[in-house]
């Protein structure tokens, strides 16, 4: 067991036993077993047991905050102790094998395989039944999970016509399902309206509505954060009515930048913390079923996960209002409303998504690599300002693109 990403089975069982003794498994009543110097157990004790909600027509009960295959080992282990039972991007465990804690208790976890288009990226790649089928089989073998619960079309469809006409992903799913290797069909959906590399691209809300009406998929991951977004909120209401599951992603818009701003942090009401307030709001004041939110350390895990399903206090509501106002001045919502109007066909939302990876997540390597792969970059912008009038936030897009280019092409 030399791999630091793998959970040590004996250690996990020891912690699980301690968790049971401390009441974690049934509600975290007792806590003395975690009083020792055990950072993972201590973090789990502070967070407590996460509430669960039904996800889509299968009626599966999933934790309101889900985990991800690229979560660092310590927060992942704490998450398991707190009852996280749905794992987005579980195929990321292919490199080193799935955590022992999941393998040992496989039926207690829902593991999702994230499947990309082939022959290019999410914009120019194609849906390919056989390639997707082969990929899932390979990931099952490499992770050791035996099967995946959920098979996700990563980035989703380009437009409503493709939902109807391109069935290769669904056929791959059906073949794998017959073999008992996958169980539920899902997608994550980005917006493609005005994307120069996607002819006929449409908005996420339009495509998702078509997916729900099509009736083949059980749930979707959607880009969702604070600030009013009528189209996506209308979609959430539709999803609720139709018993279609929803999981929010890219939820912490601009949060990394806020936390580095001492004046902003000092202005927050006493007792409110940004990630905690965000999660309280996402899990109690929206029509979402579950949320994925990136955490990078045990401290961030505690701040974030301890808000799951908890009421939004007055201080939290004030904090969310301040965060929304700040994000609306600085951070792109990735709605793509601006893109059809750019005469230079600059992929504005893509560039500003990479900016968020860098400035909010601190993931500079990924951001720069993705930016380097773009066909048209921010230096194609002629600062005409046309896009600004179409941005619901009125973001200073040309200036933001110039700043993004400076840091992402460095």
CA-nearest of 211, 75, 73, 203 to 152 is 211
Distance from chain centroid for Cα 8: 27
308 vs 342, which CB is nearer to ligand SF4?
Answer: 342
What angle is formed at CA 271 by the lines to CA 268 and CA 277, rounded to 5 degrees? 70
Q: Which helix (H) or strand (E) holds 68?
A: strand 67-68
Candidates 24, 139, 312, 397: give the one binding ligand SF4 (CB under 6 A).
397
Rounded to a whole number of angstroms, the minimum distance from the CB of residue 263 to ligand SF4 is 24
- Among positions 215-244, residues that touch ligand SF4 (CB under 6 A) are none
**What x/- string results for residues 303 through 342 when contact with ligand SF4 is judged by CB under 6 A?**
-----------------------------xxxxxxx---x
Candidates 19, 381, 404, 408: give the one binding ligand SF4 (CB under 6 A).
381
User: Does the footprint of ligand SF4 cover residue 386 (CB under 6 A)?
Assistant: yes
- The neighbour count for residue 145, using CB atoms within 10 Å, is 24
Rounded to a whole number of angstroms, the minimum distance from the CB of residue 400 to ligand SF4 is 7
38 vs 231, which CB is nearer to ligand SF4?
Answer: 231
Rounded to a whole number of angstroms, the minimum distance from the CB of residue 191 to ligand SF4 is 8
CA distances from 188 to 19, 28, 152, 154, 249 (A): 34, 33, 7, 5, 9
100 near 8, Cβ under 8 Å? yes
218 vs 229, which CB is nearer to ligand SF4?
Answer: 229
Q: In 360-396, where does DSSP find H-type helix?
A: 364-372
Rounded to a whole number of angstroms, the minimum distance from the CB of residue 347 to ligand SF4 is 9
Candidates 211, 352, 374, 404: give the one binding ligand SF4 (CB under 6 A).
352
Q: What share of the chain is helix, strand, coil (3-state, %, to 5)?
A: 50, 10, 40
Rounded to a whole number of angstroms, the minimum distance from the CB of residue 408 to ligand SF4 is 15
CA distance 75 to 32: 20
Which residues, at least 6 apart from 36, have a Cβ–Cβ distance to it below 8 Å? none
102 vs 348, which CB is nearer to ligand SF4?
Answer: 348
# residues contacting ligand SF4 (CB under 6 A): 26
User: Does the footprint of ligand SF4 cover residue 197 (CB under 6 A)?
Assistant: no
Residues that bind ligand SF4 (CB under 6 A): 332-338, 342, 344, 346, 348-349, 352, 381-387, 391, 393, 395, 397-398, 401
């Amino acid at each position: 067991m030399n791999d630091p990403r793998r959970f040590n089975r004996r250690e996990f069982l020891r912690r699980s036993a301690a968790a049971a003794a401390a009441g974690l498994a049934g509600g975290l009543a007792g806590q003395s077993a975690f009083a020792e110097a055990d950072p993972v157990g201590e973090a789990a004790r502070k967070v407590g047991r996460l509430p669960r909600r039904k996800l889509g027509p299968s009626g599966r009960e999933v934790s309101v905050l889900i985990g991800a295959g690229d979560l660092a080992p310590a927060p992942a282990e704490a998450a398991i102790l707190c009852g996280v039972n749905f794992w987005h991007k579980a195929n990321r465990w292919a490199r080193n094998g799935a955590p022992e804690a999941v393998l040992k208790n496989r039926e207690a976890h829902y593991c999702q395989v994230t499947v990309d288009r082939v022959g290019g990226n999410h914009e120019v790649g194609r849906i390919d039944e056989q390639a997707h089928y082969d990929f899932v089989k390979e990931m099952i073998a490499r992770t050791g999970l035996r099967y995946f619960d959920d098979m996700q079309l990563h980035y989703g469809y380009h437009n409503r016509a493709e939902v109807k006409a391109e069935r290769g992903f669904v056929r791959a799913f059906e073949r794998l399902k017959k073999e008992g290797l996958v169980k539920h069909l899902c997608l994550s959906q980005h917006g493609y309206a005005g994307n120069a590399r996607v002819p006929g691209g449409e908005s996420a809300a339009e495509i998702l509505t078509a997916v729900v009406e099509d009736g083949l998929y059980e749930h979707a991951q959607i880009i969702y954060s604070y600030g009013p977004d009528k189209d996506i909120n209308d979609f959430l209401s539709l999803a609720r009515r139709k018993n279609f599951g929803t999981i929010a992603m890219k939820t912490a818009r601009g949060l990394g930048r806020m936390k580095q701003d001492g004046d902003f942090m000092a202005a927050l009401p006493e007792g409110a913390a940004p990630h905690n307030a965000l999660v309280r709001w996402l899990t109690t004041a929206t029509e979402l079923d579950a949320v994925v939110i990136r955490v990078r350390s045990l401290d961030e895990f505690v701040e974030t996960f301890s808000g799951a399903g908890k009421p939004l206090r007055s201080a939290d509501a004030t904090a969310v209002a301040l965060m929304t106002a700040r994000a609306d001045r600085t951070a792109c919502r990735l709605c793509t409303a601006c893109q059809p109007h750019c005469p230079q066909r600059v992929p504005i939302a893509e560039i500003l998504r990479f900016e968020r990876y860098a400035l909010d997540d601190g993931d500079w390597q990924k951001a720069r690599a993705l930016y380097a792969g773009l066909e048209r970059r921010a230096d194609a912008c002629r600062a005409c300002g046309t896009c600004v009038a179409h941005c619901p936030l009125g973001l200073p897009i040309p200036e933001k693109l110039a700043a993004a280019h400076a840091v992402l092409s460095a």
